[in-house]
Amino acid sequence: MWTAKEIWEAGRAALEAKEPLPPPPPPSPVVESVPADSLPADFNPTGFDFEARVYRVRFKNGNSGEYEGSVLAARFPFDPREVERVEPVEGVGQGL
């Protein structure tokens, strides 16, 4: 059985042995948002330019989820009539 001290030292050694993380990618360009009043009633996934990053999809029932943009570009698995808004995760809550 391991002692608390041995577990602590093993964890510390594992953390010190890790390679440093690569620098984060440069920030993506700002996506201009459209005021909610001017949005069409139904979301049009074919007209949305999905990039290879994570997007937050908000539904009209109040639920939301995060999905990979490359997957959404290939096949949009949701009913567009139920989608309220799609935005990059980096822009959630920032008015992007």
How far are the Cα atoms of 2, 42, 43 from residue 59, in angstroms, in the given order?
Answer: 49, 11, 10
pTM (2 decimals)? 0.50
Which pLDDT score, from 0 to 100, does residue 44 have?
Answer: 76
Contacting residues for 36 by C-beta, under 8 A, at least 6 apart: 85
Map tokens 């935005």 to a residue: 87
Instruction: Show me where the domains of the chain are located.
Output: 34-90
Beta bridge partners of 66: 56
Beta bridge partners of 59: 83
Which pLDDT score, from 0 to 100, does residue 39 have?
Answer: 47
Beta bridge partners of 57: 65, 86
Can you give the pLDDT of all 96 residues of the chain as single tens digits?
Answer: 889 999 999 888 887 777 777 787 777 666 555 555 544 567 777 778 888 889 999 998 989 899 998 888 888 888 888 888 888 888 666 554
